[in-house]
A and B are shown apart, each in its own frame.
Chain A
């Protein structure tokens, strides 16, 4: 529906009736379906124990309900699993924005030792041994010349599936398209607080995707006992980006607790209240951060925070939630 609107700046950021940013599409249904199988199939991990869906569960907004995700053999991953709804419109991946494409992004979990622990050679050998997959890849990539499954085909299929996860028909969207009864009074009040210049949420979580796709230093705390996370300073080597993270989309946010890169807040009230507790209040004294100028002391009341939370609940839409396959082509146990 957002295709009915312009984005006068072509960036897909603005107000209620602003067009979306550029998206990835053009995948065939066969590719999407193959991607779906791969996504749910633990055969992608080194020991057949976990799939992408173990950490990105459809019923949890494609997150996993954990502060810190767990990889093969229960090894902890250093951050919380974000939702992957609407990835088709996103141009930076990971909390520290270190990747610019889905194809590149997925090589992180696939090959990192504490996530799926696999390596390209083993992955190809495993899949190429499975007749089911050979057939599915042939259907998805009919023009392919040799029989062997290639890495790029795997990446393309998973990307195709991720790009099919579109969530743009929430009650909020119906309001935005002009059906003003879609939100109740309290939710509208929350929306007005959210977009006001006191709370300033929409300055960073800008509609229609509820992210402006920028990096920002907001200074969320780490859970007790965990070290400070330097965020985008690590991939960029730029000290001014210390502690900066990608502004996450808030679509389906009610489903993806706990929140922040570290999973430090387990509910939306706390995640919202954070913004009113003072600029840099949670930053350790020993750490020098250039906190974003929109982070200030808006003095939101309990009532206002509750209304914002009401509003955040209106961003839920799972109408394109994919079916979990009954069985996966590898024949492995489908464990989520």
Chain B
């Protein structure tokens, strides 16, 4: 009887299972875009200062076997590209503003970008307001996702494995979010914020890479709630010399799990991170105003936290006269630290030996001033003699380092646009009184008095009128508003 009951129960369960399954399959939910951080708030992130109009934009669907780039080529500002599960082997470059590339996850399966170790980068963007989310990116040679001077970006919920030098690498960007990504197997930093401002790096998992998260020559960065384990080095705040942006300032490492970063350092010889000793928890190299707070820093065999200058950092760089090589104003607030520095190497090994330490949670080596710490007695430390007691106990007031409003595009008047286009383009062939290549502006003004529309028409589709002149090349590369602006400006030129 008992047995029967059991069987029956199992049978029932199966039935219910099928029923539910059917229900799900039968009423396959319509694809809705997942909420993103910005849509939930009132201010969207766009580069034109208006709230995101994602919902009004066109949608392009890309299915297995099709090209994501082809959709990018068709898309305009505010459009969404939905990429369905499948394998895509391409480099997607986005040189437009406000495009959202959204992977559709079906039954847990993401669209995969596979570089087959042949392709350089999976995503390259230079536009502002770019969102890239929900992809699996594997086997590229350069970067998983690289941004070049795109502001107001979101890189979210991607799985990035073995993509070469960096996993996620925004460069020269202002105001961005890197959230909920999982990265591993990266030869340099899994997440590398280079020469950026106002970036949040939150809730990512980075492991089995040379460096976990690197903030380099950037300002106002919040790195929080990340799970950073089994890399050669965990969290880095660096000034690297020889770059055009020369400061690294105001970085908060808060609430991260920095565990067992004892992976072999497999960096490319000559690279900056190749010098990081395996077993590095958090390394502050020459950066200023770094706050380290509420982190679990455990089991990193060389050290838990080290603060050092360029010379003592063991990196061999050419001198850069434009920067300050010393770290200043580091604040080490409360952290949980245990079992760090049990098997150090290199310079740290020598120093701990001299100091007769068999562990090392926190070390300060070299120049730089004005550092502070809370409750130093809780940790095994080296060289913290000059550290004051911190006055602040928490950075809780800082919720985000992203800007309340997206970085707006530069505000240039119509008149100024016209002037720029005139001097930048037309003045190479037209001058007021003289004939350079084309007719003089004075002549053009006579033909088109009060008729800027006529000029717009002509420059879009020039007709060969004058036998003794060459043909004028069409100016179709100019956006409509610029064409009008330059036409109006041309009619006003007086010398």
Contacts and interface: CB of A to CB of B under 8 A. Distances in A.
A15 B126 contact: yes
Contacts of A3: 410, 412, 416, 420
Nearest to A191: B93
B121 interface: yes
Nearest to B150: A15
Contacts of A55: none
A238 interface: yes
B146 interface: yes
A241 B318 CA distance: 6
A217 interface: yes
Nearest to A211: B244
Contacts of B321: 236
A197 B195 contact: no
Contact of A197 (B126, B165, B197): B165
A188 B126 CA distance: 14
Interface string B309-343: 00000001111110000000000000000000000
Interface stretch (B54-62, B268-276, B353-361, B383-391): B268-276
Interface string A181-195: 110000010001101
Contacts of B151: 8
A177 B269 CA distance: 38
A215 B243 CA distance: 9
B98 to A, nearest CB: 13
Nearest to A208: B149
Contacts of B169: 197
Interface stretch (B362-370, B421-429, B442-450, B464-472): B421-429
Interface string A163-181: 0000011000011111111
Given A4-B410, A169-B425, A290-B318, A197 B242 contact: no
Q: Give the size category of B's interface with A.
A: 35 or more
Contacts of A175: 95
B449 to A, nearest CB: 26
B6 interface: no
A206 B410 CA distance: 21
B143 interface: yes
Contacts of B428: 169, 319-320
Contact of B124 (A176, A195, A296): A195
A211 to B, nearest CB: 9
B328 to A, nearest CB: 21
Nearest to B91: A192
Interface in A1-45: 1, 3-6, 8-9, 11, 13-19
Interface string B403-417: 000010110100011
B149 A15 contact: yes
A126 to B, nearest CB: 31
Nearest to A214: B242
Interface in A288-309: 290-293, 295-296
Give the 4 A-B residue pairs with the shortest CB-CB distance, closest first: A319-B428, A179-B477, A15-B149, A14-B149
28 contacts: A3-B416, A4-B409, A4-B410, A8-B151, A8-B173, A8-B174, A8-B407, A9-B172, A9-B197, A13-B172, A14-B149, A15-B172, A16-B95, A17-B126, A19-B410, A169-B425, A179-B478, A180-B73, A195-B124, A197-B146, A197-B164, A198-B164, A213-B244, A214-B244, A241-B319, A290-B317, A290-B318, A295-B270
